[in-house]
């Protein structure tokens, strides 16, 4: 995490220096106009694992190479945080399966959140909402929330929008991705669309040992075979590990919400974390 934070700080400093060279956009000077930049988005094509279904397309936010590129930049850029020290990738680190590998994620102020960061791998297949409690119905809505969460990026979207409008690189990227005509059209909604496009291409599974074995490319070791049979309750002589009820193929998740029974509470109000119940009532 320290190395990631150091990289993000350096990245932020370089971007800040570049941004400081720009004057405030002015309609009178024509500095907000972006129509001289070509808008010709190209379809982003992704080869989904053969074992996975093809996800549904999003009519109002189709994947484009330009949108994915913009989303990737935003995902890794600490410009979204109040002090330019954290980015989405700080808690969704690709080196740890797009999580931060800790029980409670730490925000800009150093305060710990109440939950760990979820992986965004295969998020395109989630069907019942995002976050541990499912409070965000779409990836676009999910992408909006961390910016203004006080224990995450602790910023306000109007501030982020202004930083993006003044940036030397982002206005052109927004133009190429969404066809905006002016810097003023850069908005949190478009930023969230770009980030969600990037998150939708984070599909994994094709190269896992499980799927390679399933396709007949490799064989399990003895221990792996035993674990596999316990996981799926395939061998009556082995104890059933009860795994596959919640971790079902092909995504190894049920895409649903469960009470795992770890907390003891006499009533709903006594749960330290009400979880999904806070959303559904």
Residue of 187 and 17 predicted with greater confidence? 187
Task: At 244, list the tokens.
Answer: 């596959």
In this model, does residue 19 exceed pLDDT 70? no
Side-chain half-sphere of 171: how many Cα atoms within 13 Å?
21
Q: For residue range 218-239, what is the model confidence (pLDDT) as tens digits? A: 999 999 999 999 999 998 888 8
Query: Please, which pLDDT band fits residue 268 given cuts at 50, 70 and 90?
Result: confident
In this model, does residue 71 exceed pLDDT 70? yes
In this model, does residue 23 exceed pLDDT 60? no
**Are 201 and 63 a contacting pair, CB within 8 Å?**
yes
**Are 92 and 121 a contacting pair, CB within 8 Å?**
no
Query: Please, which pLDDT band fits residue 189 given cuts at 50, 70 and 90?
Result: very high
Give residue 122's region: left, alpha or beta (phi > 0; psi -120 to 50): left
**Are 185 and 191 a contacting pair, CB within 8 Å?**
no
CA-to-CA separations, 228 to 29, 171, 206, 219, 242, in angstroms, rounded:
66, 50, 18, 12, 12
Determine what percent of the chain is predicted with pLDDT higher than 70: 89
Task: At 58, list the tokens.
Answer: 């999003």
Give the C-alpha separation, 153 to 264, whole Å.
32
Give the C-alpha separation, 243 to 164, whole Å.
45
**Are 91 and 102 a contacting pair, CB within 8 Å?**
no
In this model, does residue 16 exceed pLDDT 60? no
Q: Which domains can be identified in the chain, with CATH numbers?
A: 2-200 (1.10.760.10)
Q: How far is CA 67 from the centre of its chain?
A: 15
What per-residue confidence (pLDDT) applies to 45?
Answer: 92
Task: Provide the 10 A C-beta neighbour count for residue 153.
Answer: 27
What is the average pLDDT across 125-152?
95
What is the average pLDDT across 111-139?
93
Q: For residue range 24-44, what is the model confidence (pLDDT) as tens digits? A: 344 434 579 999 999 999 999
In this model, does residue 22 exceed pLDDT 50? no
Query: Please, which pLDDT band fits residue 49 given cuts at 50, 70 and 90?
Result: confident
In this model, does residue 80 exceed pLDDT 50? yes
In this model, does residue 178 exceed pLDDT 90? yes
What per-residue confidence (pLDDT) applies to 17?
Answer: 44
> Taking the CA atoms of the chain, what radius of gyration do you get in angstroms?
22
What is the average pLDDT across 69-84?
98
Give the C-alpha separation, 274 to 259, whole Å.
10
In this model, does residue 5 exceed pLDDT 70? no
What is the average pLDDT across 203-207?
87
What is the average pLDDT across 209-216?
92
What is the average pLDDT across 94-109?
94
**Are 75 and 81 a contacting pair, CB within 8 Å?**
no
In whole numbers, what is the pLDDT of the chain averaged over residues? 88
Q: What is the pTM of this model?
A: 0.85
Give the C-alpha separation, 10 to 3, whole Å.
11
Helix/strand/coil (H/E/C) assignment for every residue in the chain = CHHHHHHHHHHHHHHHHHHHCCCCCCCCCCCCECCCCCCCCCECCCCCCCCCCCCCCCCCCCCEHHHHHHHHHHHHCHHHCCCCCCCHHHHCEHHHCCECCCCCCECCCCCECCCCCCCCCCHHHCCCCECCCCCECCHHHHHHHHHHCCCCCCCCHHHHHHHHHHCCCHHHHHHHHHCCCEHHHCCHHHHHHHHHHHHHCCCCCCCCHHHHHHCCCCCCCHHHHHHHHHHCCCCCCCCCCCCCCCCCCCCCCCCCCCCCCCCCCCCHHHCCCCCHHHHHC
């Amino acid at each position: 995490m320290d190395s990631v934070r150091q990289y993000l700080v350096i990245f932020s400093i370089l971007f800040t220096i570049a941004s400081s060279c720009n004057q405030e956009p002015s309609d009178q000077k024509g500095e907000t106009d972006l129509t001289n930049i070509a808008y010709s988005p190209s379809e982003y094509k992704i080869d989904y694992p053969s074992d996975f279904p093809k996800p549904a397309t999003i009519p109002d936010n189709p994947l484009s190479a330009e949108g994915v590129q913009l989303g990737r930049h935003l995902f890794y850029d600490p410009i979204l945080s109040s002090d330019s020290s954290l980015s989405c990738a700080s808690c969704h680190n690709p080196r740890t399966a797009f999580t931060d590998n800790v029980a409670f994620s730490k925000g800009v102020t150093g305060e710990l959140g109440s939950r760990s960061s979820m992986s965004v791998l295969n998020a395109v297949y989630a069907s019942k909402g995002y976050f541990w409690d499912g409070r965000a119905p779409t990836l676009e809505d999910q992408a909006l929330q961390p910016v203004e969460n006080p224990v995450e990026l602790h910023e306000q979207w109007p501030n982020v929008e202004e930083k993006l409008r003044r940036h030397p690189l982002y206005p052109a990227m927004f133009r190429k991705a969404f066809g905006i005509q002016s810097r003023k059209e850069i908005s949190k909604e478009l930023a969230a669309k770009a980030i969600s496009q990037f998150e939708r291409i984070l599909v994994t599974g094709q190269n896992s040992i499980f799927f390679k074995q399933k396709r007949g490319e490799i064989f399990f070791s003895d221990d792996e075979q035993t674990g596999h049979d316990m996981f799926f309750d395939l061998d009556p002589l082995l104890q059933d590990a009860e795994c596959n009820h919640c971790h079902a193929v092909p995504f190894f998740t049920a895409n649903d919400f469960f009470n795992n029974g770890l907390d003891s509470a006499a009533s709903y109000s006594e749960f330290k974390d009400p979880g999904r119940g806070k959303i559904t009532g």
